[in-house]
Chains A and B, each alone.
Chain A
Amino acid sequence: MTLEAEKQRPAIHPAARRPTSLFRAAAAIVWKDLRAEWRSKETVSAMLVFALLAIMVFSFALEFDRTGREASSAGVLWATLVFAGTLGLGRSLGREKDQGCLDGLLLTPVDRSALYFGKLAGNFIFMGVVALILLPVMSVLFDVSFFRPLIVPALILGILGYAGVGTLIASMSIYTRGREVLLPILLLPIALSILIPAVRATRGLLEGIPFDELLVWFNMLAATNVIYIALAYMLFDFVVEE
Protein backbone atom coordinates (compact mmCIF):
# COMPACT_ATOMS: atom_id res chain seq x y z
CA MET A 1 0.00 0.00 0.00
CA THR A 2 1.44 3.37 -1.00
CA LEU A 3 1.78 6.33 1.28
CA GLU A 4 -0.89 8.09 -0.72
CA ALA A 5 -3.40 5.40 -0.06
CA GLU A 6 -2.40 5.33 3.58
CA LYS A 7 -3.31 8.97 3.93
CA GLN A 8 -6.60 8.58 2.17
CA ARG A 9 -7.74 5.71 4.31
CA PRO A 10 -10.38 6.79 6.81
CA ALA A 11 -9.28 6.91 10.44
CA ILE A 12 -9.68 3.63 12.23
CA HIS A 13 -12.59 3.62 14.61
CA PRO A 14 -11.29 3.53 18.21
CA ALA A 15 -13.33 0.40 18.95
CA ALA A 16 -11.48 -1.49 16.24
CA ARG A 17 -8.15 -0.74 17.90
CA ARG A 18 -9.15 -2.46 21.06
CA PRO A 19 -8.02 -6.09 21.22
CA THR A 20 -10.83 -8.41 20.31
CA SER A 21 -12.37 -10.03 23.33
CA LEU A 22 -11.88 -13.76 23.83
CA PHE A 23 -15.56 -14.41 23.43
CA ARG A 24 -15.90 -12.45 20.21
CA ALA A 25 -12.83 -14.06 18.69
CA ALA A 26 -14.03 -17.55 19.61
CA ALA A 27 -17.50 -16.74 18.27
CA ALA A 28 -15.97 -15.62 14.99
CA ILE A 29 -14.16 -18.94 14.65
CA VAL A 30 -17.32 -20.91 15.41
CA TRP A 31 -19.21 -18.80 12.89
CA LYS A 32 -16.54 -19.47 10.27
CA ASP A 33 -16.71 -23.22 10.92
CA LEU A 34 -20.48 -23.27 10.83
CA ARG A 35 -20.63 -21.33 7.59
CA ALA A 36 -18.03 -23.55 5.95
CA GLU A 37 -19.96 -26.58 7.12
CA TRP A 38 -23.27 -25.15 5.95
CA ARG A 39 -21.86 -24.75 2.46
CA SER A 40 -20.04 -28.04 2.13
CA LYS A 41 -22.00 -30.19 4.61
CA GLU A 42 -18.98 -32.46 4.51
CA THR A 43 -18.19 -33.12 8.14
CA VAL A 44 -21.61 -33.64 9.66
CA SER A 45 -22.85 -35.77 6.77
CA ALA A 46 -19.74 -37.97 6.97
CA MET A 47 -20.13 -38.29 10.74
CA LEU A 48 -23.80 -39.10 10.39
CA VAL A 49 -23.44 -41.76 7.73
CA PHE A 50 -20.57 -43.28 9.68
CA ALA A 51 -22.69 -43.26 12.85
CA LEU A 52 -25.57 -45.02 11.13
CA LEU A 53 -23.20 -47.63 9.76
CA ALA A 54 -21.74 -48.13 13.21
CA ILE A 55 -25.21 -48.72 14.63
CA MET A 56 -25.82 -51.32 11.93
CA VAL A 57 -22.53 -53.01 12.72
CA PHE A 58 -23.28 -53.03 16.43
CA SER A 59 -26.75 -54.48 16.06
CA PHE A 60 -25.59 -57.29 13.79
CA ALA A 61 -22.34 -57.96 15.60
CA LEU A 62 -24.07 -58.18 18.97
CA GLU A 63 -27.21 -60.01 17.67
CA PHE A 64 -29.59 -58.26 20.02
CA ASP A 65 -32.66 -59.81 21.46
CA ARG A 66 -35.16 -57.54 23.14
CA THR A 67 -33.60 -57.41 26.60
CA GLY A 68 -30.10 -57.19 25.18
CA ARG A 69 -31.08 -54.23 23.07
CA GLU A 70 -32.45 -52.34 26.04
CA ALA A 71 -29.45 -53.00 28.19
CA SER A 72 -26.85 -52.04 25.64
CA SER A 73 -28.50 -49.20 23.75
CA ALA A 74 -26.76 -46.57 25.91
CA GLY A 75 -23.43 -48.20 25.19
CA VAL A 76 -24.12 -48.36 21.46
CA LEU A 77 -25.16 -44.70 21.43
CA TRP A 78 -21.97 -43.55 23.12
CA ALA A 79 -19.63 -45.82 21.21
CA THR A 80 -21.18 -44.57 17.98
CA LEU A 81 -20.94 -40.94 19.09
CA VAL A 82 -17.34 -41.35 20.14
CA PHE A 83 -16.26 -42.91 16.84
CA ALA A 84 -18.18 -40.39 14.78
CA GLY A 85 -16.76 -37.64 16.98
CA THR A 86 -13.22 -38.79 16.28
CA LEU A 87 -13.98 -38.49 12.58
CA GLY A 88 -15.29 -34.97 13.02
CA LEU A 89 -12.40 -33.86 15.23
CA GLY A 90 -9.81 -35.08 12.76
CA ARG A 91 -11.52 -33.27 9.92
CA SER A 92 -12.14 -30.05 11.79
CA LEU A 93 -8.51 -29.55 12.79
CA GLY A 94 -7.01 -31.27 9.76
CA ARG A 95 -8.77 -28.92 7.40
CA GLU A 96 -7.29 -25.89 9.16
CA LYS A 97 -3.84 -27.35 8.79
CA ASP A 98 -4.15 -28.43 5.16
CA GLN A 99 -5.44 -25.13 3.84
CA GLY A 100 -2.91 -23.14 5.84
CA CYS A 101 -5.80 -21.58 7.69
CA LEU A 102 -4.27 -22.51 11.03
CA ASP A 103 -1.24 -20.31 10.37
CA GLY A 104 -3.54 -17.48 9.43
CA LEU A 105 -5.55 -17.90 12.60
CA LEU A 106 -2.39 -17.96 14.68
CA LEU A 107 -1.24 -14.71 13.09
CA THR A 108 -4.39 -12.88 14.15
CA PRO A 109 -3.89 -10.71 17.22
CA VAL A 110 -6.20 -12.70 19.46
CA ASP A 111 -5.52 -14.92 22.40
CA ARG A 112 -4.64 -18.48 21.39
CA SER A 113 -7.27 -19.86 23.73
CA ALA A 114 -9.90 -18.16 21.55
CA LEU A 115 -8.85 -20.58 18.84
CA TYR A 116 -9.19 -23.49 21.24
CA PHE A 117 -12.59 -22.48 22.51
CA GLY A 118 -13.79 -21.69 19.01
CA LYS A 119 -12.79 -25.09 17.66
CA LEU A 120 -14.16 -26.76 20.80
CA ALA A 121 -17.53 -25.08 20.31
CA GLY A 122 -17.60 -26.03 16.64
CA ASN A 123 -16.82 -29.65 17.40
CA PHE A 124 -19.38 -29.65 20.19
CA ILE A 125 -22.05 -28.38 17.82
CA PHE A 126 -21.20 -30.95 15.13
CA MET A 127 -21.31 -33.83 17.58
CA GLY A 128 -24.46 -32.41 19.13
CA VAL A 129 -26.20 -32.33 15.76
CA VAL A 130 -25.23 -35.94 15.14
CA ALA A 131 -26.50 -36.91 18.60
CA LEU A 132 -29.81 -35.11 18.02
CA ILE A 133 -30.34 -37.07 14.81
CA LEU A 134 -29.19 -40.34 16.35
CA LEU A 135 -31.65 -40.16 19.25
CA PRO A 136 -34.87 -40.59 17.25
CA VAL A 137 -33.21 -43.06 14.89
CA MET A 138 -32.00 -45.21 17.75
CA SER A 139 -35.33 -44.91 19.56
CA VAL A 140 -36.99 -46.45 16.52
CA LEU A 141 -34.34 -49.04 15.68
CA PHE A 142 -33.78 -50.21 19.25
CA ASP A 143 -37.34 -49.77 20.44
CA VAL A 144 -36.10 -47.85 23.47
CA SER A 145 -37.25 -44.32 24.16
CA PHE A 146 -34.31 -41.98 24.44
CA PHE A 147 -36.61 -39.03 24.96
CA ARG A 148 -36.18 -38.37 28.61
CA PRO A 149 -35.46 -34.87 29.88
CA LEU A 150 -32.32 -35.78 31.79
CA ILE A 151 -30.70 -37.33 28.76
CA VAL A 152 -30.01 -33.80 27.56
CA PRO A 153 -27.57 -32.84 30.35
CA ALA A 154 -25.93 -36.27 30.09
CA LEU A 155 -25.37 -35.78 26.37
CA ILE A 156 -24.22 -32.18 26.77
CA LEU A 157 -21.69 -33.03 29.47
CA GLY A 158 -20.42 -36.13 27.70
CA ILE A 159 -20.03 -34.45 24.31
CA LEU A 160 -18.53 -31.31 25.82
CA GLY A 161 -15.89 -33.29 27.67
CA TYR A 162 -15.11 -35.41 24.65
CA ALA A 163 -14.87 -32.42 22.33
CA GLY A 164 -12.91 -30.56 25.00
CA VAL A 165 -10.10 -33.06 25.30
CA GLY A 166 -10.51 -34.15 21.67
CA THR A 167 -9.84 -30.67 20.32
CA LEU A 168 -6.56 -30.56 22.23
CA ILE A 169 -5.48 -34.04 21.10
CA ALA A 170 -6.56 -33.49 17.50
CA SER A 171 -4.59 -30.26 17.33
CA MET A 172 -1.53 -32.37 18.17
CA SER A 173 -2.33 -35.32 15.91
CA ILE A 174 -2.61 -33.12 12.80
CA TYR A 175 1.13 -32.50 12.97
CA THR A 176 2.03 -36.18 13.04
CA ARG A 177 2.77 -38.55 10.22
CA GLY A 178 -0.26 -40.72 9.59
CA ARG A 179 -2.51 -38.49 11.63
CA GLU A 180 -5.81 -40.24 10.87
CA VAL A 181 -4.41 -43.36 12.44
CA LEU A 182 -2.93 -41.65 15.44
CA LEU A 183 -5.92 -39.56 16.53
CA PRO A 184 -8.08 -42.43 17.87
CA ILE A 185 -5.02 -44.05 19.44
CA LEU A 186 -4.19 -40.87 21.30
CA LEU A 187 -7.73 -39.88 22.12
CA LEU A 188 -9.56 -43.04 23.15
CA PRO A 189 -7.55 -43.94 26.27
CA ILE A 190 -7.92 -40.35 27.47
CA ALA A 191 -11.61 -40.21 26.61
CA LEU A 192 -12.41 -43.33 28.61
CA SER A 193 -12.84 -41.34 31.80
CA ILE A 194 -15.62 -39.38 30.08
CA LEU A 195 -17.15 -42.39 28.41
CA ILE A 196 -17.53 -44.40 31.62
CA PRO A 197 -19.74 -41.93 33.53
CA ALA A 198 -21.58 -40.90 30.35
CA VAL A 199 -22.59 -44.46 29.53
CA ARG A 200 -23.52 -45.16 33.13
CA ALA A 201 -25.67 -42.06 33.43
CA THR A 202 -27.43 -42.70 30.12
CA ARG A 203 -28.06 -46.33 30.89
CA GLY A 204 -29.42 -45.48 34.31
CA LEU A 205 -31.81 -42.96 32.76
CA LEU A 206 -33.03 -45.45 30.17
CA GLU A 207 -33.62 -48.03 32.87
CA GLY A 208 -35.63 -45.48 34.85
CA ILE A 209 -33.31 -45.35 37.83
CA PRO A 210 -34.10 -42.29 40.00
CA PHE A 211 -31.87 -39.28 39.51
CA ASP A 212 -30.51 -39.32 43.08
CA GLU A 213 -28.75 -42.58 42.39
CA LEU A 214 -27.35 -41.32 39.12
CA LEU A 215 -26.11 -38.07 40.58
CA VAL A 216 -22.67 -39.53 41.19
CA TRP A 217 -22.23 -40.04 37.42
CA PHE A 218 -23.36 -36.54 36.60
CA ASN A 219 -20.97 -35.17 39.20
CA MET A 220 -18.19 -37.18 37.75
CA LEU A 221 -18.98 -36.01 34.23
CA ALA A 222 -18.94 -32.42 35.42
CA ALA A 223 -15.66 -32.90 37.28
CA THR A 224 -14.01 -34.56 34.27
CA ASN A 225 -15.19 -31.71 32.06
CA VAL A 226 -13.75 -29.09 34.36
CA ILE A 227 -10.40 -30.86 34.66
CA TYR A 228 -9.99 -31.63 30.96
CA ILE A 229 -11.09 -28.25 29.68
CA ALA A 230 -8.96 -26.42 32.24
CA LEU A 231 -5.95 -28.57 31.29
CA ALA A 232 -6.56 -28.08 27.58
CA TYR A 233 -6.98 -24.33 28.08
CA MET A 234 -3.61 -24.15 29.81
CA LEU A 235 -1.81 -26.51 27.42
CA PHE A 236 -3.23 -25.42 24.06
CA ASP A 237 -0.82 -22.49 23.77
CA PHE A 238 2.11 -24.90 23.83
CA VAL A 239 0.55 -27.10 21.15
CA VAL A 240 0.08 -24.39 18.54
CA GLU A 241 3.26 -22.51 19.42
CA GLU A 242 5.69 -22.36 16.50
Chain B
Amino acid sequence: MAATTTAQAPADAQRAASRPVGLTILTVFTALMLLVATYMAFIYAPTERTMGAVQRIFYFHVGAAWAGALAFLVTAIAGVVYLITGKRSWDIVGHSSVEVGLALVTITLTSGPIWAQFAWGKPWTWDPKLTSAAVMWLSYAAYLMLRQGLDDPARRARFGAVYGIVAFASVIMTYFGVRFIEATIHPVVVGSSAGTGEGDFGLATRMVHAMVFSFITFTFVYATLLWHRIRLERLSDRVARLKAHFFSQSG
Protein backbone atom coordinates (compact mmCIF):
# COMPACT_ATOMS: atom_id res chain seq x y z
CA MET B 1 0.00 0.00 0.00
CA ALA B 2 2.72 2.40 1.03
CA ALA B 3 4.76 1.47 -2.01
CA THR B 4 2.01 2.23 -4.49
CA THR B 5 1.29 5.51 -2.76
CA THR B 6 4.86 6.68 -3.12
CA ALA B 7 5.07 5.46 -6.69
CA GLN B 8 1.88 7.24 -7.65
CA ALA B 9 2.63 10.36 -5.72
CA PRO B 10 4.88 12.14 -8.25
CA ALA B 11 2.57 11.58 -11.21
CA ASP B 12 -0.41 12.47 -9.09
CA ALA B 13 1.26 15.60 -7.80
CA GLN B 14 2.16 16.63 -11.32
CA ARG B 15 -1.43 16.30 -12.44
CA ALA B 16 -2.85 18.09 -9.44
CA ALA B 17 -0.36 20.93 -9.50
CA SER B 18 -0.55 21.75 -13.19
CA ARG B 19 -3.44 23.98 -14.14
CA PRO B 20 -6.16 22.27 -16.16
CA VAL B 21 -6.29 23.39 -19.79
CA GLY B 22 -10.00 24.16 -19.51
CA LEU B 23 -9.35 26.59 -16.68
CA THR B 24 -6.63 28.40 -18.64
CA ILE B 25 -8.92 28.76 -21.65
CA LEU B 26 -11.78 29.95 -19.46
CA THR B 27 -9.58 32.50 -17.72
CA VAL B 28 -8.32 33.98 -20.97
CA PHE B 29 -11.82 33.98 -22.44
CA THR B 30 -13.24 35.75 -19.35
CA ALA B 31 -10.50 38.37 -19.47
CA LEU B 32 -11.37 39.06 -23.10
CA MET B 33 -15.04 39.29 -22.24
CA LEU B 34 -14.28 41.77 -19.49
CA LEU B 35 -12.39 43.89 -22.00
CA VAL B 36 -15.33 43.80 -24.40
CA ALA B 37 -17.77 44.53 -21.57
CA THR B 38 -15.69 47.54 -20.59
CA TYR B 39 -15.73 48.74 -24.19
CA MET B 40 -19.49 48.28 -24.37
CA ALA B 41 -20.11 50.08 -21.10
CA PHE B 42 -17.88 53.04 -21.85
CA ILE B 43 -18.03 53.48 -25.60
CA TYR B 44 -20.61 51.31 -27.31
CA ALA B 45 -23.56 52.28 -25.10
CA PRO B 46 -24.87 55.81 -25.63
CA THR B 47 -24.62 58.36 -22.83
CA GLU B 48 -27.81 58.58 -20.81
CA ARG B 49 -29.70 61.82 -21.39
CA THR B 50 -30.31 63.14 -17.86
CA MET B 51 -27.69 61.41 -15.76
CA GLY B 52 -24.81 61.53 -18.18
CA ALA B 53 -21.69 59.47 -17.88
CA VAL B 54 -22.33 58.28 -14.31
CA GLN B 55 -25.09 56.03 -15.58
CA ARG B 56 -22.40 53.85 -17.12
CA ILE B 57 -21.65 52.50 -13.65
CA PHE B 58 -24.91 50.62 -13.98
CA TYR B 59 -23.59 47.94 -16.34
CA PHE B 60 -20.98 46.58 -13.95
CA HIS B 61 -23.09 47.36 -10.90
CA VAL B 62 -25.99 45.19 -12.04
CA GLY B 63 -23.78 42.48 -13.50
CA ALA B 64 -21.86 42.08 -10.24
CA ALA B 65 -25.09 42.13 -8.20
CA TRP B 66 -26.55 39.33 -10.30
CA ALA B 67 -23.43 37.20 -10.11
CA GLY B 68 -23.14 37.81 -6.34
CA ALA B 69 -26.70 36.66 -5.72
CA LEU B 70 -26.04 33.64 -7.94
CA ALA B 71 -22.95 32.83 -5.87
CA PHE B 72 -24.94 32.78 -2.65
CA LEU B 73 -27.66 30.67 -4.24
CA VAL B 74 -24.95 28.20 -5.23
CA THR B 75 -23.72 28.18 -1.62
CA ALA B 76 -27.20 27.41 -0.32
CA ILE B 77 -27.63 24.58 -2.83
CA ALA B 78 -24.14 23.24 -2.13
CA GLY B 79 -25.02 23.34 1.57
CA VAL B 80 -28.10 21.20 1.04
CA VAL B 81 -26.19 18.72 -1.09
CA TYR B 82 -23.37 18.61 1.45
CA LEU B 83 -25.72 17.84 4.31
CA ILE B 84 -27.23 15.01 2.28
CA THR B 85 -24.08 13.50 0.81
CA GLY B 86 -21.37 14.63 3.24
CA LYS B 87 -18.89 15.00 0.39
CA ARG B 88 -16.02 17.40 0.98
CA SER B 89 -16.19 18.70 -2.59
CA TRP B 90 -19.60 20.28 -1.92
CA ASP B 91 -18.22 21.98 1.15
CA ILE B 92 -15.44 23.39 -1.01
CA VAL B 93 -17.98 24.65 -3.56
CA GLY B 94 -20.06 26.35 -0.87
CA HIS B 95 -17.12 28.00 0.84
CA SER B 96 -15.47 29.13 -2.40
CA SER B 97 -18.71 30.52 -3.72
CA VAL B 98 -19.12 32.70 -0.63
CA GLU B 99 -15.68 34.22 -1.06
CA VAL B 100 -16.24 35.00 -4.72
CA GLY B 101 -19.76 36.24 -4.06
CA LEU B 102 -18.57 38.54 -1.31
CA ALA B 103 -16.10 40.16 -3.71
CA LEU B 104 -18.84 40.62 -6.32
CA VAL B 105 -21.30 42.13 -3.85
CA THR B 106 -18.54 44.46 -2.69
CA ILE B 107 -18.33 45.75 -6.27
CA THR B 108 -22.06 46.37 -6.23
CA LEU B 109 -22.05 48.02 -2.83
CA THR B 110 -19.25 50.40 -3.73
CA SER B 111 -20.39 51.29 -7.23
CA GLY B 112 -24.01 51.85 -6.17
CA PRO B 113 -23.43 54.77 -3.79
CA ILE B 114 -21.23 56.52 -6.36
CA TRP B 115 -24.11 56.43 -8.80
CA ALA B 116 -26.67 57.33 -6.13
CA GLN B 117 -24.70 60.40 -5.08
CA PHE B 118 -25.40 61.80 -8.54
CA ALA B 119 -28.83 60.36 -9.22
CA TRP B 120 -30.43 60.72 -5.78
CA GLY B 121 -28.15 63.35 -4.29
CA LYS B 122 -27.18 61.02 -1.44
CA PRO B 123 -25.10 57.86 -1.44
CA TRP B 124 -27.36 55.64 0.64
CA THR B 125 -31.03 55.10 1.42
CA TRP B 126 -32.68 52.26 3.31
CA ASP B 127 -34.26 50.99 0.17
CA PRO B 128 -35.14 47.25 0.01
CA LYS B 129 -32.51 46.47 -2.56
CA LEU B 130 -29.82 48.42 -0.74
CA THR B 131 -30.74 47.01 2.66
CA SER B 132 -30.83 43.43 1.48
CA ALA B 133 -27.52 43.86 -0.33
CA ALA B 134 -25.95 45.22 2.85
CA VAL B 135 -27.45 42.41 4.93
CA MET B 136 -26.21 39.94 2.35
CA TRP B 137 -22.68 41.28 2.65
CA LEU B 138 -22.78 41.14 6.45
CA SER B 139 -24.31 37.66 6.58
CA TYR B 140 -21.67 36.15 4.37
CA ALA B 141 -18.86 37.99 6.11
CA ALA B 142 -20.25 36.32 9.24
CA TYR B 143 -20.23 33.00 7.37
CA LEU B 144 -16.50 33.32 6.80
CA MET B 145 -15.93 34.29 10.43
CA LEU B 146 -17.92 31.27 11.57
CA ARG B 147 -15.71 28.99 9.50
CA GLN B 148 -12.60 30.68 10.77
CA GLY B 149 -13.67 30.11 14.36
CA LEU B 150 -14.00 26.34 13.96
CA ASP B 151 -11.07 23.95 14.06
CA ASP B 152 -12.70 20.61 13.33
CA PRO B 153 -13.03 20.31 9.52
CA ALA B 154 -16.19 18.18 9.60
CA ARG B 155 -17.93 20.59 11.92
CA ARG B 156 -16.74 23.55 9.88
CA ALA B 157 -18.29 22.02 6.80
CA ARG B 158 -21.58 21.19 8.52
CA PHE B 159 -21.95 24.58 10.18
CA GLY B 160 -20.99 26.32 6.96
CA ALA B 161 -23.70 24.44 5.11
CA VAL B 162 -26.31 25.21 7.77
CA TYR B 163 -25.40 28.88 7.98
CA GLY B 164 -25.28 29.22 4.20
CA ILE B 165 -28.85 27.95 3.94
CA VAL B 166 -30.20 30.11 6.77
CA ALA B 167 -28.40 33.22 5.51
CA PHE B 168 -29.89 32.81 2.05
CA ALA B 169 -33.40 32.54 3.48
CA SER B 170 -32.80 35.60 5.62
CA VAL B 171 -31.58 37.72 2.72
CA ILE B 172 -34.72 36.92 0.75
CA MET B 173 -36.97 37.68 3.70
CA THR B 174 -35.18 40.92 4.52
CA TYR B 175 -35.75 42.01 0.95
CA PHE B 176 -39.48 41.35 1.17
CA GLY B 177 -39.64 42.83 4.65
CA VAL B 178 -38.21 46.16 3.63
CA ARG B 179 -40.16 46.17 0.41
CA PHE B 180 -43.40 46.54 2.33
CA ILE B 181 -42.22 49.71 4.03
CA GLU B 182 -42.29 51.88 0.97
CA ALA B 183 -42.18 51.67 -2.75
CA THR B 184 -38.63 51.18 -3.88
CA ILE B 185 -36.80 54.22 -5.16
CA HIS B 186 -34.18 52.00 -6.68
CA PRO B 187 -34.62 52.01 -10.44
CA VAL B 188 -36.41 48.96 -11.74
CA VAL B 189 -34.65 48.59 -15.03
CA VAL B 190 -35.08 44.88 -15.51
CA GLY B 191 -38.61 43.57 -15.28
CA SER B 192 -42.04 44.72 -16.25
CA SER B 193 -43.12 46.70 -13.19
CA ALA B 194 -43.80 50.36 -13.72
CA GLY B 195 -40.86 52.51 -12.72
CA THR B 196 -41.51 54.20 -9.41
CA GLY B 197 -37.84 54.83 -8.90
CA GLU B 198 -35.99 58.06 -8.88
CA GLY B 199 -33.41 58.01 -11.59
CA ASP B 200 -35.37 55.49 -13.60
CA PHE B 201 -34.33 55.34 -17.14
CA GLY B 202 -35.45 53.62 -20.26
CA LEU B 203 -32.83 51.61 -22.04
CA ALA B 204 -31.85 52.30 -25.59
CA THR B 205 -31.18 49.21 -27.70
CA ARG B 206 -27.44 49.58 -27.37
CA MET B 207 -27.78 49.95 -23.62
CA VAL B 208 -29.69 46.67 -23.53
CA HIS B 209 -26.86 45.04 -25.49
CA ALA B 210 -24.27 46.34 -23.04
CA MET B 211 -26.36 45.25 -20.07
CA VAL B 212 -27.02 41.73 -21.32
CA PHE B 213 -23.38 41.37 -22.21
CA SER B 214 -22.39 42.53 -18.74
CA PHE B 215 -24.70 39.92 -17.18
CA ILE B 216 -23.07 37.19 -19.22
CA THR B 217 -19.58 38.52 -18.53
CA PHE B 218 -20.08 38.58 -14.78
CA THR B 219 -21.50 35.09 -14.86
CA PHE B 220 -18.27 34.05 -16.53
CA VAL B 221 -16.21 36.05 -14.04
CA TYR B 222 -18.00 34.24 -11.25
CA ALA B 223 -17.49 30.81 -12.82
CA THR B 224 -13.81 31.46 -13.48
CA LEU B 225 -13.04 32.77 -10.01
CA LEU B 226 -15.02 29.92 -8.48
CA TRP B 227 -13.04 27.35 -10.40
CA HIS B 228 -9.74 28.98 -9.36
CA ARG B 229 -10.86 29.14 -5.75
CA ILE B 230 -12.02 25.51 -5.72
CA ARG B 231 -8.73 24.43 -7.22
CA LEU B 232 -6.84 26.41 -4.58
CA GLU B 233 -8.78 24.66 -1.83
CA ARG B 234 -8.12 21.25 -3.40
CA LEU B 235 -4.42 22.03 -3.55
CA SER B 236 -4.38 23.14 0.05
CA ASP B 237 -6.16 19.91 1.02
CA ARG B 238 -3.50 18.04 -0.88
CA VAL B 239 -0.70 19.88 0.88
CA ALA B 240 -2.28 19.01 4.20
CA ARG B 241 -2.52 15.34 3.18
CA LEU B 242 1.08 15.24 1.98
CA LYS B 243 2.26 16.89 5.18
CA ALA B 244 0.39 14.38 7.26
CA HIS B 245 1.78 11.56 5.12
CA PHE B 246 5.33 12.88 5.37
CA PHE B 247 5.25 13.34 9.12
CA SER B 248 3.66 9.94 9.68
CA GLN B 249 6.53 8.34 7.74
CA SER B 250 9.41 10.32 9.20
CA GLY B 251 7.91 10.26 12.69
Q: Using a CB–CB distance below 8 Å, which chain A residues touch chain B?
A: 165, 168-169, 172-173, 175-179, 182, 185-186, 188-190, 192-193, 196-197, 200, 216-217, 220, 223-224, 227-228, 231-232, 235, 238-239, 241
Contacts and interface: CB of A to CB of B under 8 A. Distances in A.
Interface of B: 83, 135, 138-139, 142, 145-146, 149-152, 155, 158-159, 161-163, 165-167, 169-170, 173-174, 176-178, 180-181
A172 B157 CA distance: 12
A216 to B, nearest CB: 6
Given A197-B177, A216-B180, A235-B165, A190 B170 contact: yes
Given A182-B146, A200-B181, A189 B158 contact: no
A235 B177 contact: no
Given A189-B138, A196-B177, A178 B170 contact: no
B173 A227 contact: yes
Contacts, number: 88
A98 to B, nearest CB: 17
A118 to B, nearest CB: 19
10 contacts: A169-B163, A172-B146, A172-B163, A176-B150, A185-B145, A190-B166, A192-B174, A193-B177, A197-B180, A238-B162
A177 B135 contact: no
Could you say which of A168, A177, A185, A192 has the most chain B C-beta atoms within 10 Å of its C-beta?
A192
A164 to B, nearest CB: 11
A190 B159 CA distance: 15
Contact of B149 (A182, A188, A231): A182
A182 B159 contact: no
Q: Which 3 A-B pairs have the closest CB atoms?
A: A176-B149, A193-B173, A189-B139
B83 A238 contact: yes
B169 A228 contact: yes
Given A172-B163, A235-B166, A220 B146 contact: no
B170 A172 contact: no
Given A173-B146, A175-B155, 12 more contacts: A168-B166, A175-B159, A177-B150, A186-B142, A186-B146, A193-B170, A197-B177, A220-B176, A220-B177, A224-B177, A238-B162, A239-B158
Nearest to B151: A177
